[in-house]
């Protein structure tokens, strides 16, 4: 593979991986559980995600390689851990890509109501597959612009929102203020509601570890990774907390269900009549970004599995641009199944109207596996690299206690997700998937893995 990803691309890849359709279209789903205290939930989750990224950064600084956390799991925990991590990452990103392709058909219906939903899905996945096959630089450039569109939209929304809050822009110059944040209650769902919201918030950060997968193809990896990790988490926190702070200030939290998309309404308030079309364009790019990241990350994990002898050797084959050809094509076909499911399932199942939610929710637990693996691997990594830690410039803060605290936080979140009826099925799907893959490992690969 070739080191063609620049620092600007790496930072936008990390941002784009976590700022998705959920913020633009589904911000109200987290708010309904706990009201304005969701701001605290985003801040708490952000702190723990920063610790996870620092643990990953500490290891990547010494060993910036393709497959990163899956490779670390194999080396520092057990080959089974590496196997499950790689497959969890593949499962997560294929499922996310499938859900994005399902969603994209609905977004195009906004402009062309009679257009069959499968047509945009086929065009989008074909385009993304070809772009990923051209070169890793092409993937990076696409992801840079997809992410930039999302980031610029959020910044503009925050600026416009602050104009409404402070100066009354679009409200007859009567400042709205921020009293809506506490006027209708703050911790509206009690402790239980706050913890339920925290689990959904945590899931929204999934994909932040994508920067670890890019390590093997980054220019000047040590310098690039350190810069990207240091800046990315804080930027994500600013975008999430800033956007939701503006939404909660302008609209009473208990009336958000009647608002539709707060982004559309906020832009419309200051007279931007094309607000709905603009946000529809943005969520299409957000969906393309999610699938684009999925093809990249899952194909590199397929490459890592093939390197360990756990997938056929053809998945190691690189094209003349240094891209794993069969891995990219196989993952693209897997994501394409989302388009097929969206077309077929409503025919056979009457309750399959919301295929997007059914597919997306199943990725939650597999998406958290890399976080557990990163935190546990880093503990063993330190033991095996004591000589390098003395002069290491990018150590995990307060390790090992920060590791233990973060692991406890993740486990507690999973327990509450199981008790929440709205997230229980996603945890069960994840557990079943991990159980099947564990059995498959012991049947086919136990004692046979030779890590290269």
What's the pTM value of the predicted model, to 2 decimals? 0.87
Domains and CATH numbers, the chain: 7-444 (1.20.1740.10)
b/e per residue 258-282 (b: at least 16 CB within 10 A): ebebbbbbbbbbeebeebbeebbbb
CB 293 within 8 A of CB 210: yes
pLDDT at position 452 = 47
Q: Which residues have C-beta within 8 Å of that of residue 303, sequence separation ≥ 6?
A: 66, 67, 315, 316, 324, 327
Q: Which residues have C-beta within 8 Å of that of residue 45, sequence separation ≥ 6?
A: 198, 201, 202, 205
Q: What is the DSSP string of 113-131?
A: TTS-THHHHHHHHHHHHHH
3-state secondary structure of 5: strand
Q: How far is CA 425 from CA 26, 198, 367, in A?
A: 19, 17, 15
3-state secondary structure of 420: coil
pLDDT at position 125 = 93
pLDDT at position 381 = 93
pLDDT digit string (tens) for the chain, length 452 residues: 666 777 677 777 767 666 766 666 556 777 888 889 999 998 998 899 889 989 988 998 888 776 578 889 989 999 999 999 999 989 988 888 887 887 888 788 888 888 887 889 899 999 999 999 998 888 888 888 988 898 888 889 899 889 989 988 878 888 989 999 998 888 888 888 888 888 778 877 887 787 777 766 777 777 777 777 777 777 777 888 888 899 899 888 888 777 667 778 888 877 887 888 888 888 888 888 888 888 988 998 999 899 888 899 999 999 888 899 999 999 999 999 878 877 776 666 665 555 555 666 677 788 899 999 999 999 999 999 888 888 888 899 998 999 999 999 999 888 888 888 877 888 898 899 999 999 999 998 776 655 54
Peptide bond into 400 cis (omega under 30): yes
Q: CA-to-CA distance for 379 and 335, rounded, in angstroms? A: 35
Which among 316, 276, 253, 334 has a CA at the least distance from the CA of 90? 334
Q: CA-to-CA distance for 92 and 366, rounded, in angstroms? A: 6
- The number of beta carbons lying within 10 Å of the beta carbon of residue 20 is 24
pLDDT at position 189 = 84
């Amino acid at each position: 593979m070739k080191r063609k990803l620049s620092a600007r691309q790496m930072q936008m890849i990390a941002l784009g991986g976590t700022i998705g359709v959920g913020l633009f279209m589904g911000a109200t789903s987290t708010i309904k559980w706990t009201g304005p205290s969701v701001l605290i939930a985003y801040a708490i989750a952000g702190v723990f995600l920063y610790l996870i990224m620092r643990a990953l950064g500490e290891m990547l600084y010494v060993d910036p390689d393709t497959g990163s956390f899956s490779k670390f799991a194999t080396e520092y925990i057990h080959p089974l851990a590496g196997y499950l991590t790689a497959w969890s990452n593949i499962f997560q990103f294929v499922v996310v890509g499938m859900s994005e392709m399902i969603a994209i058909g609905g977004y195009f219906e906004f402009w062309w109501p009679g257009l069959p939903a499968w047509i945009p899905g086929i065009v989008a996945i074909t385009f993304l597959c070809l772009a990923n096959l051209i070169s890793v630089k092409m993937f990076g450039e696409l992801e840079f612009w997809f992410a930039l569109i999302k980031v610029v939209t959020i910044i503009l929304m925050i600026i416009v929102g602050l104009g409404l809050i402070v100066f009354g822009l679009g409200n007859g110059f009567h400042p709205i203020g921020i009293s809506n944040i506490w006027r209708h209650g703050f911790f509206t769902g009690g402790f239980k509601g706050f913890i339920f919201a925290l689990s959904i918030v945590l899931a929204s950060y999934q994909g932040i570890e994508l920067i670890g997968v890019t390590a093997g193809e980054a220019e000047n990896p040590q310098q690039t990774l350190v810069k990207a990790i240091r800046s990315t988490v804080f930027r994500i926190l600013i975008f999430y907390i800033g956007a939701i702070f503006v939404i909660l200030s302008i609209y009473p939290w208990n009336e958000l269900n009647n608002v539709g998309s707060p982004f559309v309404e906020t832009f419309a308030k200051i007279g931007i009549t094309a607000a709905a079309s603009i946000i529809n364009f943005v969520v299409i790019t957000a969906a393309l970004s999610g699938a684009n990241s999925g093809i990249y990350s899952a194909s590199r994990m397929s490459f890592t599995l093939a390197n360990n002898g756990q997938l056929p050797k053809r998945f190691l084959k690189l094209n003349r641009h240094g891209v794993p050809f069969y891995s990219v094509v196989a993952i693209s076909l897997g994501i394409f199944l989302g388009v097929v499911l969206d077309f077929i399932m409503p025919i056979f199942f009457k309750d399959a109207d919301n295929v997007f939610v059914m597919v997306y929710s199943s990725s939650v637990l597999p998406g958290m596996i890399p976080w557990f693996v990163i935190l546990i691997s880093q503990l063993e990594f330190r033991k095996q690299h004591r000589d390098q830690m003395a002069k290491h410039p990018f150590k995990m803060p307060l390790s090992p206690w920060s590791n233990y605290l973060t692991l406890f936080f993740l486990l507690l979140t999973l327990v509450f997700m199981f008790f929440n009826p709205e997230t229980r099925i996603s945890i069960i799907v994840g557990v079943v998937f991990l159980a099947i893959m564990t059995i498959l490992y012991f049947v086919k690969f136990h004692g046979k893995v030779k890590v290269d």
